[in-house]
Structure formats: C-alpha cells, structure tokens
Structure 1
Amino acid sequence: MFCKTFVPTTSSSSRTWTRFSRHGLGGLLLGIAILFMAMAGSAMAQPESPQKQIDGWNVALEKVDAAIEREGTSDAEFKALKQQVTDIVAAANALADSLAPKVAAATAQVEQLKPTGATDAPESEAAKENRQEAEKQLSDLAGFQKQALAIASHGSYALAQIGEHRRMRFTAELLERNTSLIDPGLWGDAASDLPGITGRTGSVVGEWASLVASRSDRSAIAIFVGLLALIVAVLVPGRRFLLSKLRRPHADAQPTVRTKVMSAAAIVAVNVFLPLIVLVGGQSILNALELLPYRIDQLWTGATAAIVFFSLAFGISRALLAPTRSTWRLVALDDAVAMRAFRLSIAIAAVQAMVVFHQNFAKVTQASLSFTIALDGVASIVIAVLVIAMVRGLTRRAEPSEEEGDDPADEDFGLRRLALMAAGLASGAAILANLMGYVALGRFITTQTVWTAVVLSLLYLLMKLTDELTAASFRRDGVVGSRLITSVGFAPRSVTQAGVLANGAAHLALIGLAFLAIVAQWGVDSSGLFATIRQLFFGFKIGSITISMSTLIAGIVVFMIGLIITRSIQGWLDTRFLPTTRLDSGLRNSIRTSVGYVGMIFAATLAFGYAGLDLSNIAIVAGALSVGIGLGLQAIVNNFVSGLILLAERPIRAGDWITVGAEEGTVKRINVRATEIETFDRATVIVPNSSLITGVVKNMVLRDRSGRVVVPVSVSKLSDAEQVKAILIECAKAHSLVLRYPEPIVLFLNFGEKSLDFELRCYLADIASGATVRSDLRFAIFGRLREAGVALPG
C-alpha cells in the first residue's frame, strides 16, 4: 500500500507526490532547524565555568585598582567603579555559597571512599580510581570556593579604597581656598564675565527657539506651546485654587490636633507634588517630542529642583507656622513671631533655590570661576544673615516680670534653643569662611543648615501624622484594631500595644530616612549605607557562624504563627469540644494547659529550625548550662516540673477546694511556675507548685464533692435529751441539701457544768455549700428549740 500510494501513474498522483515532496522537505528542514536551535540553546544555557567567571572578575578588579590609583578619576567614575565592584563581590559570595553544599558532599564522599585502617585487605583498583576522582573533584570545588572568597575579599578592599578616595576628594574640594569676597579683583572679573554669560544664555534660548521653529509638524509646536501654558497655569492659579480648598477657616473653637495635622500634611503635599508632577511630566513629554536640547534639559532639571525645594520649604513653613491663623499653628509661637519667622523662612528658601538653580546654570552658560564664587559667596552670606535673624527672633523670650509662674514647655524650649544657637553659630562660621576665601565651605555650611532645618521640620510633621494615623487605626473601632479583634482574637489592650509598637517602628523608619537625607550632603553614599543595612539584614559571617536578621525575624514570625495556632486550638477545645464531654473542669483545664505546652514546644522547634539554628548545638549549650541551672535556677525548674506533675497526677484540679497551710480556697489556675488559689474573701494566693507537691495539702473534693458538716448544739442541763435529739434529726432531714443516706446522726458529747452538749452530723452532695447549710440548720434548730420550750444555757 505504501508503494502504491507513491506510484506516479496519473497526473493527480503526480501532483500529490509533488505537494508531499515540497511539504515533507520543508517539514524536514524545519525540524532540523528546530533541533539545531534547541542544541544551540541548550549549549548557550549551560552555566559558565567557575574558573572562567573567576578569571573575568580578577581582570575587572585589576582594572578597578588601576583606575583608583590613576590621577584625575572623577566622582562619577568612582561611583560607577563602586557599583561594578559591588556586583562582583555579590556574585563571588553567591558562587561561594552555591559551592558550599557541593564541597560538603564531596568531602563526605571522599571520607566514605577512604580505605579503613582496621582491615588488611588491599584497595581495589576501581575503588582507588573512584577515590582519586572524588579527591580531584573535591580539590576543584574547594579551589573554586577559595578563589571566590578571595575575589570577595579583594572587592571589599577595593570598595574601602574607593570610599577613602571619595572622602579625600570631598574634603579637598570643601577646604579649597579661593579669592576672598572682599577682594575687589574678584568683583571686577565677575563683572567682566557678565556680558559673556548673558550672551551665552541668549544663545541657549535662541537654540531652543530655533529647534521648535524648525519643526515642520505644527501639532508638535501646538503641544509645546500648550504644555508651557499648562505648566504656568497649574503652578500659579491651579496651585492657589487647590490651596484655597484646603484653606483653614477662622474659628472660635480650637480644632483638634488630628484636624490640624491632617490639614498641614495636605498643604505640604499640594505644594510639593503638584509642581513636581507637572515639571517632571512636562520634561518627559518634551523629551519624547525631541523638543528639549541637552543644555535646555540641564536648565529644566535645575529649575525643577529649585522650584520643588522652594515649594517644600514654603509648604512646611505655612503648615507649621500658620502665620494668619493661630488656632491652626502646630508650634507654640506668638502671632508676631510666627509671621516674622514665616517671612524669613520664605526668603531663605528663595535664596537657597537660586543657589540650587545656579549650579546647573553655571555649567550650561560656562560661567567663569570668579562669577561662580561671587554669586555663591553672596548667596551664602545672605542666607547666613537671614538665619541669624530668625534665630534671634525665635530665641527671644518674654521678660521675667511678664511671665506668670513656671512654663511647662521650658525643657522643650531649652532643646529648641540649643538647636537654634547651633544654627546661628554655623551661620556665623559660614560668613567668616566666605570672607576668608573658603567659599565652598561657606556655601556647604549654609546649604546644610537650611537642608537640615527643612528635613527636621518635615520629620516633625510626619511623626505627628504617624501618631494620629496609628492612634486612629489601632482603636477598638479603627480599621486595623477592629480586624485584629474580630479576625485574630486580640484583646483591646493587645491592640493598643500593637499600635504603640507600630508607631515606634514608623518613627524609627522616619528617623532613619531623615538621617540618610541629612548625611547625603556630607558625601556619604546612600548605596553604601543601604548595602550595610542589607548585609546586616540578610546575613553576615563571624568566623564560621552566619548571623542573619531576616532568618531570625522569620523564626520569630514562625513562632508567633505557631503560638496563634496553639491559642486557637486551646480556644476551640475550651469553648467547643470539651464542654460536650463528661470530663470535669479540672481535667479540662489540664488538657487545655498540656495542649498549650506541646504547641509552644512545637512552635519553638519549628522556629529554631527555620532560623537555621542547629538543635544539636542548642542541646550542647543547654547541657553546659545545666550546672548553672541546677545552682541558680533550681527553684524555678523545681516549680516547673512540679506543675507538670500536678497536670499529670492531678492531685488538685482547677475548681478544687483545698487548704494549704493557713490558706483555704478554690483552685483557679495551675500555671507553669505557681498555682492561683482564690480564697473565700476573693483574695488571690499564689502558691509555688513545689509546695503543693512536697507539702501537706487538704483537698476537700479530690474523689468526689460530697462531705460532712457538723453543727454543735448546747442546751440547758434541765432539758430532755431525747427531745433535743429528735428536734435536731427533724431539722436536718427537713433541709433539701442534706443527703438521706448516710442518715443524719446526733451525738451526745458531754455533760457540761451548765449545759448538755450535742453534735449534729449530716452529709451533703456538694461540700462547697457547707457554710450555707450550717447556717440554715442553726436558724431552724434555734426556732424549733424555742417552740418546744427547750432553754439554752445562759
């Protein structure tokens, strides 16, 4: 049939063969191509050999070493070198970590293949070849691992060298002395360069205009003009419109702290994010349309930074000082002082924004060094003078005669006064530095002073905002608090504690970010700090021990999850399962407590394992500490073991009526160390578990709750004894709580000097009601004796 199908007997079969040949050949070629690509892909997917990687890293680090020692390496090049070395160190450490289990497995294999010394049998050739192959593999793997660790050490040294060179460069630039501002020659040179700067600025603007005008696409020009108009409209009237919606009204009633903080945060957000989004978005659109040449892009970037900084300082000043609305003010200042501080802060922010823009403007216009020094020096001195004026206004206090009593904010004002004095001294030092020719140092001091003030003010506002948000969220009816109570089962007090912890964590995070923002001006590379934090979090080695905060935190989380599951099982047993059984309350409490102990031990074991702690090492440490435990903690261990014995043997149970020494009451709870007993006076007695095991304990309800009550009765010597006995028996049988069996009995105890002494003994089903029954019997007996005319001794 196969041959018949392909015999070209007719034109139809010939066409069929032609189609099959064409399609079959194409399919064959396609299959060969796919197979070849798969083989090539698998070859390309094969990991690079470790030795090739190590050699490449060595070559790269040698080039980095040469670049570090080379004169003229810029700071940007140092940053690129640092990133390159950081990647190499991370990759080398990853390679060493990946080879560690392979080295361990190869070591174990070599140990297994070694000939034993106990036997005299010669080693076979096959075993010898296997052992030699295993040793060679171990040698290769161990060599790769050692080389990778050496690469990591080399890279760490290179990183230290890069950091040292950058610090030295920063210090040298900062302490470089230039022409003093009081030198007339400086101003002459700066003035002579002014026409050139003006011309170059016009050239830059003209280049931009020519680029826009040369575009044949009119739609792009329309977008350009419309975008500029939109930016102006949003930054001026649009911003004012949004701020008018957030305007804080004059009110006779004092607004709440939460209202003031939320309003202040909204004002800062509008002032910062609105210009940031508009300017950055406009820059991106113009770059996409290719309407932003390089020099205009640099000026746009500088203008964006300056405007955003000014908006941030303006928003913070207005939010905190509220110059025209004292009831909304977040800092305790008089109206006149607040208005003066607001105006000075706006002036300082405007001059500092000009300094920020001038850094890019000087590069684009190729301003001379004299012009840059003159402008930076003047701006630095103006800022310093304004800061000193603000410090004087804020540190001025009322006269002692005008003050009434002690001010509770004196301590806070003292801290603020120290900070303001430090700012004033720094500003004075900046003025001196500028006059002596250290313009870079003076500008750095004033810039750092202003930036630190802005960051600390923003930190103050954000911490206030965090306080209000956590307080609102972790209330019983808050978003987080209600879910923790209903879903997880947190107690209201636990929800409050969780809110305090969350608030503290948020404060620490904000303080850390503020610290990074401040030290960034000092030449500290934030990437290095983040790398250190990342290393602390994900693990660092001390000898052969790896300490990782992430695994420790993961272990704590696992333990908390296990503890929550244990508490859930205990709650289910206590409220759902155990009440359906016939077990007494004491056995229920023992089961619940035992489940808690087992769950905690299981959760701790899982947590230790997840955190990477070797339980055998923990056992060794525990054995070494057993002597100390036996000497210093023997009482605690004794009480713990006694508690386990109480739960196992159950000589006392929760709810039992016991007597321990002079204390008598009901057992409420058997804990790990001690047992809680509630006396009949509603007082709680804490008894160590060891005292219940080694001491004498009277349990009134150990086997059952039945018991005997005794009521002594004395009557006159002239009374009829049989009549008295009958009355006592009748009163006992008439009480509903007295058992019919054993029957009540009356004992004639004694012939007193003036009385006949009897004793009524009867039994109850629950001895806990003994005091009530004795009182009822005394009332009944007294009434029946009076009715029968039986006299009492008297």
Structure 2
Amino acid sequence: MKLLGAVVFAVTLTAQSAPQADASGEPAPSQVEPDIAPMPTAMPSASVEVRQGEVRAAAIALTDAQRRQERWDKTAAEAIKLLEKGARDLSPSDLAKWEELRAKLAEQRDEALAVSLQGTLPEKIARAQLEALGPPPEADATEDAQTASRREELEERLTLARGPSMAADDAHARAIVLIKEIDRVINSSQRGLVFKQVPSPLLPSSWAALFRDLGTKKIQASEGATVPSNLGDLGEITSGTVMIFGAVLLAFLGGLLASQRAIVRKLDRRVLQQSNAAAAIILTILRDLVVLLLPIGLLIVILVFGTLLDASAPVLSLVFLTVGLAGVVLVFGIWLGQSLLSPEIPSQRFIMMSDKRARASYLTVIGLSGVLALEAIYEGFERHFPFSAAATGVVPFILIGATGFLLFRLATLVVGRKNDAIENPEVGAALHAGHSGRRIDFIGIGARAMKVVAIATLLLSALGYDALARMFLSATLETMAIVALAILSFRRTMAIAKVIGGNFARSHEHMSELAPVALGILLIAVSIPLILLAWGLRPAQIGDFISVLRTGVSFGDVRISFGDVVTFSLVFAIGYVLTRWIQRIVEVTVLPRLSLDGGSKSALLTAIGYFGLLLSALIAITSAGLDLSSLAIVFGALSVGIGFGLQNVVANFISGIILLIERPIKKGDWIKVGDAEGIVEKVAVRATHIKAFDRDDVIVPNSELISGIVRNRTLVDTLGRVEIYVGIAYESDVALALQEAMAAVTSHPDVVRDPAPSVTVTEFGESALNLQVFAYIRDVARSNRVRGELHLEIFARFNEAGISIPYPQRNVRVEKA
C-alpha cells in the first residue's frame, strides 16, 4: 500500500507539474499544487519559484524511484519463482545461475539500504523546515494558528516525500529474506555434493572398472561438457594421446626447473658470502624471481596458447590449460618450500632445523606440489571425460593416499626439529633464542593437525566419500600455503624495510615498533578471507560481511560502519600526533621564556595534552558523522553505573583535575602521604606517581591526596629544618657543649642564618644529659647529607673539647640464693 501511494503521488505530481490549458488555450485557473495551500497574491515571485522547484524535485525523485522499484520487483519476482520451484542436487552450471541471481539481489539490497539511509531531496528539505519550526508543543500547550498550519503542511509533505524511502525499506527487507533462502538452497546442494558416496575404491570391481575405462578407444564427454563429443579437426583422440601431451609439457617444465637449479645454487652461495645486509636481501629477492617468475612466465605462455586453441582444437586447448594450471601449482609449491625451508641458507629458514632435516622437508614439499599438480590435471579432465560410476573413486583414492603420506611425513619432519636441538647445540640455541617461560607451540599443534587430516582423509576416501576427503585435504593444504605465504611476506617486507629505513627506524623507535604490528594486522585481514574460502565459505558470503562493514551496524538510531571507525581512528590519530607536537613545541620554545617552576610547566603541558585529546575526540566524532544525541538514554544508564560501580574512579578523576588546577602538589615536590614518602614524578588524572627514596615507584590515588593529610616539604620553598639529638656526660661542661654544638652548626655552608639555629637541653636522661640541635638548610632535599655531616662535626668538636658522649650504664647485681 505504501508503494502504491508513492506511485499515485508521483503520477499526480507529474501531471500537475505541467499546467493544463482550457479550450481557450489558457491555463486552467484552478490548477494548483495539491500539497501547497493557495498563495496570496502578495507573495514574492522568488518564493513561488522555490516552491515550484521543490515540487519538480519531488516529481523527479519519485520518477527515479519508480524505475528503481520496477527493477527491484523484477529481480525479486525472478527469485521467488525460482525458489517456489525448489531445487536439490544442483549441477555446477545451475549453482552458477543461483549465485548470479544472489549477487544481483545482494547488489539491490545494498542499493535499497543506501536509498533508505540517504533519503530524497524533498524529504531532507521538509525535515529541515520542520526542525526550523522547533519542537512541537506539549500536550497542554498551544501554538499560534499560522505556525500550526505550517507544521501540519510540512508533516504532510514529509509523509508523502518519504514514499521512496519507505519503498526502499520494503525492498531491503524482502531482499534479505530472499538471499537467506537462496543461501539455504545453495548450501544444501553443496553439502549434497560433498557428502556424496561412491563405490569404495577398495572393492576389486572398482579397479576392474578403471582398467576397463582406460582400455576403451575413446573416453566419452560428460553431459553438458564444454568439450564437444565430436573432436573436430583432431579426429579420434585416445586417453593415451592426452597423456602424451601432458607428459611432453611436464618434461619441458621439468627441464626448465633443472636448469634453474644451478642458478639458484649460485645465488645461495653468494648470499652466504655476503656480509652486507642490503646485498643479501637483493640477492634473496633475485633468487625468488628466478625460482618463481621464470617458470610462471613460461606457464602463462602455455595458458595463453591453450586459450587461443579453444575454438579450433578444444581438446588440445584443454590439455594446455590443464597442464599449465598444474604447472603453476607445482612451481608455486617449490618456491614456497625453497623460501621457507631454505635448505642451503640456515639463517633464512622459518622453522629452525638441521640441514639434513631441512633438505628432507624441502623434498617432501616438492613431492606434495607434484601430487597436487596431478590432482589439478585429474580434476581438469574429470569434468569433461569422466570415468564410470564404479571407477570414480579409484584415482582420487590413489592421489589422496600419496598426498596423505607426504603430509604425514612433513609433519613428522617438522616435529623432529626438537631432536635436532638435542643433537645439535647450535640448533637448540636458535630454537630457544628470544623465548622464555611458557609459550604456545603452534608448529607442534599444526603438525599434529596435519597427521590427523592425513589419516582421516584416507579413511574417508576408502569409505567412498572422496569428495569430502578431497575437500578436507585441499582446504588443509591451501590453509598451510596461505599461512606460509603470509609469514614469508611479513619476513621479506620487514627485511626490506629494515635495510631501506634503517636510519628512520633508529630516530623513530616507537613508529618502527608499530610497523610490524600494522603489517601483521594487514596480512591477517587478507589471509582470513582466503582461508575461509578454502574451507568452503562462498565469496558471496564474504561479500555480505564486507557490505556490513561498509554500510554499518545499527545501534538504536545510530549506525556505525567500518568507514566511520576508520575515519574516527585516523582523525583521532592525527589529533593525537598534533597534540604531542604542540606539547613539544611549547616545551622547547615557549616554556623556557616563562618564569615558571618545573611543577607549573608540567601542569601546563598536562593540561594541553588532555585538552588536545578531548578536542581530537570531538572532531573525530563529528568527522565520522556520528550523532550521539540518540545515545542520551544509554549515557544516562551509564551514569548510574558510574555513580555506584565507578565512584572511586570518578573521585580520583575529579581529584586529579583539582590537583592540576589548584596545584597543592606538583612535579618535583617532596611529599609524605601515609607510609609513602618521596619525590613527585607525575601528577596524572587518576593517580600521582611518587619516586620513593629506595627507588620504588609508588602510585597514590588522587582522592587520598585531596581528602587525606599530605606533608609537602617543598610546597612554598625548599627551606627545611634538620634536627639532631646528642647526649653528654653529666660531669661535662654544659655551656662549652652548647657552644661547640652551635659552632658546628653555624659553620656548615648549607645552614642559613635566618631562621637562626638553636641548641637546647631537652631532658635529663638515664645515662646522659640530652641536647637538641635545630638548624634550617636551604635545600631540604639535602637534609640527610647535612644531618650526617653535622653529626660528624659535633662529634669531632666534642672530642677536641674533652666532652664525652657516655654509653648507657647498667648495674647488674647477682645474689646467691
């Protein structure tokens, strides 16, 4: 009904946009726009033109919406018709058609969502005009008649203008349901193909059927195959001829690989002889090019030649294409094994092991690549020249057995590196270099998984589930290749960056530390979709995930997309960097010209930092287009949690702001709070950092500094008092003792004259007459040193004056029982 109303309104506007003439040829006087009240004759002509422009824009927008809606309805009708028929056990060609229809629906779903989010121009104008009128009056309030009439008119216009957006919402919801149903059909059909069981290859009848098929004169083309049963100009072609073509190409490729082996060995020797890191990296990259690009170039030529032969000689074209793709698999596997295991250069091995085990692992990887190349050849010809049903599982069983054996052997060689550590101390030291404590043995876990897959796939193939076994085995090998390629890319890129940007890395240590993290995140983001594709996830499903990242996820009335997150992060990062630069500029150029103490400078820099971060966050939110007004309820709920669960954090935060503004404690002060005493290192928003005299770092919450008793010995100045207690014998000359103590104090260069020092008799002790010496020094930070020097000076003067410092005396009386 909403869609029908929008179409009717579009037709009405289109008809009314051109004034109709009466019999005299003049426009009908009653012809006015239906959504605009009759205008007074005194209204300026500019206003009339604006209103007419709005009407024309609305008509154009609705006309575009009609065409777009027709296209959406047509695709949806096609999908509904296809789903109503139902489908099971779809062929590959049928699956391709369903995937094509699903891709079209996904594209239209995203288009409808974009239209719904963006809205039409008349809708935006009407909404802005309503906002300009202000909020509507409350239930018990009224507004003047003119404003109320204008508000009613704009609300009606907004309702009509939202027709295309509402239609887009309906189309978006419909496309989501249809896509889910199509995914269900495709996934069900793919599961049926994967779990399809064929006769067991262990049965003698299966082998007999295989030999019977190989002995026939011509292998029949499969139903619906691209290669016709009539082989054209080539006439009759046997399976032996096909094998001869493949053997010739493989022999040529093998000769090329053998010839390049000598070049690779020379480059390896040059790498080992190089002491220059840059030269070693260049030679390593050159070796990669020789191992990979030279054979791949030849194979590309073969593939292109096979494509050109498709029209005139389809079978020969099939031979070239299939063997060419198999050669790509073989060359890529050899290059990956050479680069990761590096049998000739131990320093470049990804898995540290002995030379003997590295060569054996490399040969195993070559064997795996060869078996996978044969698997690619078999799959290429299987689609066009299939075996009989009884012989279908025999060849896959042979290939799966060979692949499983090599995979199991590779896992055994990889795990055996621990034996190398026992036999070879150098390998053991390299294995444990840079690792301490407990760590996850990813290589050991991966090796165990490889063994399980090798055994499980062989059993599945023996039971007749060759499609399932091939899927698990190929997914495992592809995952290993993707992970290995990502690791190799990381190591090569970091080695090149280290050589090229060595000076930059030394001068920007923090940025150079973040570079590996950023590169690792990028490689992981690229590798995960590829691994998911290897394990059966369809590209359309990954496309849906990317679409969700692009369009965003709704949280109430707020929609956050990946682009918004990236924009927010980039703007905030730029603001953070600018804030640090401003702090540095102020610290270097401005603060030295101001007569401020160290604590004031630190407080000013801290305030600039927090203000810059707050401003950066606000600008980043605005740049990302996030409207946080609709999250007021959420923030209100969070405030309740802050009031209860986070009250200590908030108290410390507020106390930190008070400390920065009031500055009763600043950087460099000597304070004592509770049992903690030391020099203030930093006054942060949540806590204050104190460096104790025993070099411990003490973190004191700011609320304790505000609500508790704090002793600040350097708040106003650095003047401080030193107290010394000394006892003299009762028979000593007290006046002389007082005179010598005062002379010792006044002679010290750090003791000030105002306030004047003093020496007094405090009490009559058990063994001595106790004296107390007070002295004020210029820098209280030197109090311990000054106190020690005054002790030594008083002791020396008392000795010269013959004044003794008595020991405690005890009389012990022993009586016989």
Same fold (TM over 0.5): yes
Q: Give the corresponding residue for 2:507.
A: 486
Q: Distance in 2 between matches of 1:148 and 1:483?
A: 52
Instruction: Specify whether residues 622 and 479 from structure 1 end up closer, same or farther in structure 2 by C-alpha distance, changes over 3 A only.
Output: farther
Q: Give the corresponding residue for 1:13.
A: none
Counterpart contact for 2:322–2:377, Cα < 8 Å: no
SS at match of 1:737: coil
Instruction: Specify whether residues 83 and 615 from structure 1 end up closer, same or farther in structure 2 by C-alpha distance, changes over 3 A only.
Output: closer
Deviations along 1:253-290, one digit per CA (max 9) or x if unpaired, are: 9999x999999998776555444444435655897999
Deviations along 1:84-124, one digit per CA (max 9) or x if unpaired, are: 22222222222222217853652464584999798999957
SS at match of 1:455: helix
The one-letter amino acid of 1:52's match is R
Q: Distance in 2 between matches of 1:712 and 1:195?
A: 113
Note if 1:539 corresponds to 2:563.
Answer: no
Query: Superposed, which structure 2 residues align to 1:664-743 within 5 Å?
Result: 664-717=677-730, 720=733, 723-743=736-756
Query: Which ranges of structure 2 fall in alignment gaps of 5 or more residues?
Result: 1-55, 222-226, 237-248, 432-440, 808-817
Q: Distance in 1 between matches of 2:654 and 2:298?
A: 71
Q: Distance in 1 between matches of 2:194 and 2:767?
A: 112
Instruction: Specify whether residues 509 and 307 from structure 1 end up closer, same or farther in structure 2 by C-alpha distance, changes over 3 A only.
Output: same
Q: Distance in 2 between matches of 1:119 and 1:792?
A: 94
Counterpart contact for 2:651–2:703, Cα < 8 Å: yes
Instruction: Specify whether residues 696 and 190 from structure 1 end up closer, same or farther in structure 2 by C-alpha distance, changes over 3 A only.
Output: closer
Residue 458 of structure 2 is aligned with which of 424, 427, 432? Answer: 427
Shift of 1:449: 4.7
SS at match of 1:91: helix
Shift of 1:668: 2.2
Q: Distance in 1 between matches of 2:295 and 2:561?
A: 42
The one-letter amino acid of 2:72's match is W
Q: Distance in 1 between matches of 2:568 and 2:584?
A: 24
Indicate the larger mover: 339-348 or 606-615.
Answer: 339-348
Note if 1:147 corresponds to 2:170.
Answer: no
- TM-score with structure 2 length normalisation? 0.70
Instruction: Specify whether residues 509 and 581 from structure 1 end up closer, same or farther in structure 2 by C-alpha distance, changes over 3 A only.
Output: same
Query: Superposed, which structure 2 residues align to 1:20-59 within 5 Å?
Result: 49-59=64-74
Note if 1:552 corresponds to 2:573.
Answer: no
Instruction: Specify whether residues 761 and 249 from structure 1 end up closer, same or farther in structure 2 by C-alpha distance, changes over 3 A only.
Output: closer
SS at match of 1:703: coil
Instruction: Specify whether residues 206 and 786 from structure 1 end up closer, same or farther in structure 2 by C-alpha distance, changes over 3 A only.
Output: same
Indicate the larger mover: 319-328 or 679-688.
Answer: 319-328
Query: Superposed, which structure 2 residues align to 1:93-132 within 5 Å?
Result: 93-99=113-119, 103=123, 105-107=125-127, 109=129, 112=133, 123=145
Deviations along 1:114-146, one digit per CA (max 9) or x if unpaired, are: 99798999957x985x66764553233222111
Q: Give the corresponding residue for 2:246.
A: none
Instruction: Specify whether residues 762 and 558 from structure 1 end up closer, same or farther in structure 2 by C-alpha distance, changes over 3 A only.
Output: same
Counterpart contact for 1:246–1:263, Cα < 8 Å: no
Q: Give the corresponding residue for 1:348.
A: 371
Residue 602 of structure 2 is aligned with which of 589, 592, 613? Answer: 589
SS at match of 1:596: helix
Counterpart contact for 2:407–2:451, Cα < 8 Å: yes
Q: Give the corresponding residue for 2:7.
A: none
Note if 1:766 corresponds to 2:779.
Answer: yes
Instruction: Specify whether residues 246 and 69 from structure 1 end up closer, same or farther in structure 2 by C-alpha distance, changes over 3 A only.
Output: farther
Q: Distance in 2 between matches of 1:80 and 1:355?
A: 27
The one-letter amino acid of 1:90's match is D
Q: Give the corresponding residue for 1:226.
A: none
Instruction: Specify whether residues 193 and 106 from structure 1 end up closer, same or farther in structure 2 by C-alpha distance, changes over 3 A only.
Output: farther
Counterpart contact for 1:243–1:270, Cα < 8 Å: no
Q: CA RMSD in A?
A: 5.1
Residue 656 of structure 2 is aligned with which of 620, 639, 643? Answer: 643
Q: Distance in 2 between matches of 1:778 and 1:113?
A: 81
Q: Distance in 2 between matches of 1:753 and 1:342?
A: 92
Shift of 1:383: 0.8
Instruction: Specify whether residues 704 and 120 from structure 1 end up closer, same or farther in structure 2 by C-alpha distance, changes over 3 A only.
Output: closer
Q: Give the corresponding residue for 1:24.
A: none
Counterpart contact for 1:585–1:654, Cα < 8 Å: yes
The one-letter amino acid of 1:194's match is K
The one-letter amino acid of 1:505's match is I
Counterpart contact for 1:324–1:339, Cα < 8 Å: no
Shift of 1:518: 1.4
Q: Give the corresponding residue for 1:77.
A: 97
Instruction: Specify whether residues 783 and 613 from structure 1 end up closer, same or farther in structure 2 by C-alpha distance, changes over 3 A only.
Output: same
Counterpart contact for 1:265–1:461, Cα < 8 Å: no
Note if 1:244 corresponds to 2:256.
Answer: no
Shift of 1:583: 1.0
Q: Distance in 2 between matches of 1:264 and 1:478?
A: 13
Shift of 1:355: 0.9
SS at match of 2:484: helix
Query: Superposed, which structure 2 residues align to 1:243-322 within 5 Å?
Result: 243-247=261-265, 272-280=292-300, 299-316=319-336
Q: Distance in 2 between matches of 1:668 and 1:358?
A: 75
Shift of 1:715: 4.3
Query: Superposed, which structure 2 residues align to 1:396-435 within 5 Å?
Result: 416-433=447-464
Q: Distance in 2 between matches of 1:593 and 1:411?
A: 44
Q: Distance in 2 between matches of 1:757 and 1:174?
A: 99
Shift of 1:551: 1.6
Counterpart contact for 1:384–1:431, Cα < 8 Å: no
Note if 1:357 corresponds to 2:380.
Answer: yes
Note if 1:657 corresponds to 2:670.
Answer: yes
Residue 385 of structure 1 is aligned with which of 385, 397, 401? Answer: 401
Equivalent residue pairs, number: 699
Q: Distance in 1 between matches of 2:338 and 2:607?
A: 61
Shift of 1:463: 4.5
Q: Give the corresponding residue for 1:457.
A: 480
Q: Distance in 1 between matches of 2:672 and 2:141?
A: 71
Deviations along 1:51-108, one digit per CA (max 9) or x if unpaired, are: 2221232134323433555689833332332332222222222222221785365246
Counterpart contact for 1:106–1:134, Cα < 8 Å: yes
- TM-score with structure 1 length normalisation? 0.72
Q: Distance in 1 between matches of 2:505 and 2:737?
A: 67
Q: Distance in 2 between matches of 1:790 and 1:698?
A: 37
Q: Give the corresponding residue for 2:112.
A: 92
SS at match of 1:655: coil
SS at match of 2:162: helix
Counterpart contact for 1:674–1:688, Cα < 8 Å: yes
Q: Distance in 2 between matches of 1:232 and 1:405?
A: 39
SS at match of 2:119: helix
Counterpart contact for 1:710–1:759, Cα < 8 Å: yes
Q: Distance in 2 between matches of 1:484 and 1:777?
A: 53
SS at match of 2:776: strand
SS at match of 1:74: helix
Instruction: Specify whether residues 588 and 352 from structure 1 end up closer, same or farther in structure 2 by C-alpha distance, changes over 3 A only.
Output: same
Query: Which ranges of structure 1 fall in alignment gaps of 5 or more residues?
Result: 1-41, 208-230, 434-440
The one-letter amino acid of 1:149's match is D
SS at match of 1:665: strand
Structure with more helix by fraction: 1
SS at match of 1:49: helix
SS at match of 1:541: strand
